Each structure stands twice: as structure tokens, then as C-alpha cells.
Amino acid sequence: MRDLQLSLNKGQSVRLERALEQLESLSSKANSDASVTVADDISVNYEDAILKGHGTVEMDGRLVATLCGVVERVNKLVYVRALRARYKPEIGDIIVGRVIEVAPKRWRLEINFSQDAVLMLSSMNLPDGIQRRRTAIDELNMRSIFEESDVICAEVRGFQHDGCLHLQARSQKYGKLKKGQLLTIPPYLVKKRKQHFHYLDEYGIDVILGCNGFVWVGEHVETRDDMAEDLSNKSEPSSVKSLNTMSDDEAEETYTPPETRQNICRTANAIRVLSTLGFMITVEVVVEIVKLSISLNLDVHEMLGAEFYVLVAEKEAERRSLLTKRR
């Protein structure tokens, strides 16, 4: 939060500094026992057999932290989770990536990791929805599924024997993402939860919080099988009337109402503001910021102004203060 590069006037600077100090005091009270810095002692019960994990080392009979972060305990395992670490893939993570290469039997994706990820042709559902062996024809038609610069959603399968990070997309909720914005935020701001796909019914948009720090905000799309519909259309006898109907349908599919576009931009700007301030990105907080901008009658571009950053910081400090009092 201290690295903000905003053009603030004197009053805004004082208000922002006050809000950040309040947030810092609230977080330090909440995490006084869990937060550690380098060389801090970690309190453990030595009578129990413990396992020393990442970010810990034993020195002179004491368990000492080698990282700045939060102490985590999983059964007997004790480790330190760094607050500002790079994305570390885990099996089952929901990620958003961008296709950078179409290779034989695979797509190579950029996922905000130290290396690119690989999505094999055999690790995804074919558009026709039929479970079968992939053929040479499927390999030739790979660009009709995904091509360079396409944004897709997938799941981490794990590191394979070849050392590459492999993905899979064996569900209809995964696949190509269209009609939206791709945002890049620090991965540590996205907390891993059971649900990373969110449909904001009030605004008619989808929000996908990728564990790798790529966030997608786009028009809501019902889960459906596009290729099956295409095959059914092709099976119908071709005529001038059917061609005109298909072109009208395609034009309708590519059209996004202005209100939906505004909601997409407003939600994306809310995420940008929260990311710049260093706040955790959850769909509940994002919706609150969107409603705040609407209540203030702000245009979409005005959300990126200095005053709105200060208002969001003050609002977050007030929210956390109320949560602390309730406890």
C-alpha cells in the first residue's frame, strides 16, 4: 500500500494516510500471533512430533522463520506462507491464461508463472462433446478451437514427467472466454476458495478470479455446446433463408448491449482500485465498490481518480473496524 503512485492533494494525502494506518493497526492486531519476520521464533509444542516446512529452520533447539509471512499449521506440518510470493501452481487451481502458441497436439499458455503451461489436446473436451480418441483431423482443426491471443479458463492438472505444467479443461465451464476484459493483479490478492466462478446477476456479467492473478470480467455466458449447435446447423439443408437467419444470429451473438459493457468496465475498474490499494480481491468486496461508485453517480473513468481511491480506503477501514467490533 505504501508504494501508491497517485496524484493526491494535501487533504487527500492526509485522509489516505489515516485510513492506511487504521487498516495496518487492525491487521496487526488480528495477525499478531501469526505474523513473523525473518529470525522470529515460531511457538510450537516440542512434545509433539512436528514437521518443519517451507520458511522454517531449527536453530539451537528453536524453530525460526526464514521468511516474512504468516505461520500456517496443517496437522503436524508447520510452515510460513509468504505474503507477496509469486504464483505457485497447485493441483486443482482454477487459472485464466492466454494462448501464445499452437503446437502439435498442445496449446502453450501464459499463466503468470515462471514457465508457460501446456494444455494437451487430449486433456480437454472436444467441442462436439463426444468422448473419443483424438485423430489427425482433430489436430489439424486445433486453431478452430483455440488460436494465438485467445483467453481461456482451465484447471491445473500438475507437473508431468516432462517437467511441464499441464492443464486440463474437461468441463463445459472451462474453455474460451470472449466479450470481456483480462486483468492482471498480484496472485497473493486472490484467496483460494471453493468457488472462483461468479455470476453477478444484477449486472449480467461473469467474474472469474484466477488463482494465478489473471482475472476475467465479461458478459455472462450460459454453459452450452457451441460445436454441437454448429453441427446441427450444418446438418440442415442449406438455403438462402437459412443463411440469412444464421448471419442474423451471429450478429446478435457478437453484439453486447452498452449497459453490459459499462458494467464490465465498472467492475474491472473496481478490481483495479482494490489491487492498487493492496486489498484482497473477493466478489463481495468488488460488488460493494461497484455499488459505491453508482451511489456517488461516478462515471466509469472517474473511478480511477485519486478521490475514489481515498474513499475506497476509508470504506475498507470502516468495514474492517465494524467486523473487529462484532467479534
Tell me which architecture the domain covering 35-84 has in CATH.
Beta Barrel (2.40)
- Rounded to an integer, the average pLDDT of 78-82 is 85
* 296 dihedral zone (left: phi>0; alpha: psi -120 to 50; beta): alpha
Residue among 177, 169, 173, 178 at smallest CA distance from 126: 169
Q: Give pLDDT, residue 4.
A: 62
Rounded to whole angstroms, how far apart are CA atoms 304 and 125? 40
Residue 281 · residue 267 · CB < 8 Å: no
Q: Tally Cβ neighbours within 10 Å of residue 34.
A: 14
Q: Quick one: cell of 65?
A: 522463520
Q: Which of 177, 220, 198 is nearest to 284 (CA)?
A: 198
Name the segment(s) of the chain with CATH classification 2.40.50.140. Answer: 94-224+260-295
Arithmetic mean of pLDDT over the chain:
83
Distance CA 16, CA 307 (A): 9
Res. 317: pLDDT tops 70: yes
At residue 293, the pLDDT reads 94
Of 198 and 39, which is predicted with more confidence?
198
Domain with CATH 2.40.50.100 in the chain: 35-84
pLDDT > 50? residue 229 = no
83-102 pLDDT tens trace = 777 888 989 999 999 999 99
**DSSP structure class, residue 287:** H
What DSSP assignment string belongs to 86-121? PP---TT-EEEEEEEEEETTEEEEE-SSSS-EEEEE
Q: Is residue 1 pLDDT above 70, yes or no?
A: no
Report the Cα 227 to chain-centroid distance in Å.
27
Q: Which fold does the domain 94-224+260-295 belong to in CATH?
A: OB fold (Dihydrolipoamide Acetyltransferase, E2P) (2.40.50)
The values of phi and psi at residue 218, to 5°, are -150, 175
CA separation for the pair 48, 44 (Å, rounded): 9
Provide the angle, in degrees to the nearest 10, between the axes of the packed helices 306-326 and 283-295: 130
Share of the chain above pLDDT 90, in %: 41
What is the number of other CB atoms lying within 10 angstroms of the CB of residue 99? 20
What is the pLDDT confidence band of residue 253, given thresholds at 50, 70 and 90? low
Query: Cell match 455472462: residue?
Result: 220
Q: pLDDT for 155-181, tens place per residue?
A: 999 988 878 899 999 888 898 999 999
**In the predicted structure, residue 30 carries a pLDDT above the cut 70:** no
50-to-39, 56, 58, 62, 78 alpha-carbon distances in Å:
19, 12, 11, 12, 7
Grade residue 222 by pLDDT with cuts at 50, 70 and 90: confident
Q: What is the mean pLDDT of residues 101-105?
A: 92
23-27, 90-94, 132-136 — which is least confidently predicted? Answer: 23-27
Is the pLDDT at 249 greater than 80, yes or no? no
What is the rounded CA–CA span in Å between residue 8 and residue 10? Answer: 7
pLDDT, mean of residues 239-244: 34
Q: Which of 31-40, 53-62, 114-123, 219-228 has the lowest mean pLDDT?
A: 219-228
Mapping DSSP to helix (H, G, I), strand (E, B) and coil, where does residue 35 land? strand
CA 180 to chain centre: 14
Q: Cα-atom radius of gyration of the chain, to the nearest Å? A: 24
Assess contact for 225 and 178: CB atoms under 8 A. no
Residues 6+ apart with CB under 8 A from 239: none
What 8-state DSSP symbol labels residue 59? Answer: E
Distances (CA, A) of 173 to 155, 273, 311: 10, 28, 36
Dihedral over Cα of 182, 186, 189, 190: its sign: positive
- 3-class secondary structure, 306: helix
Q: Is the pLDDT of residue 295 over 60?
A: yes
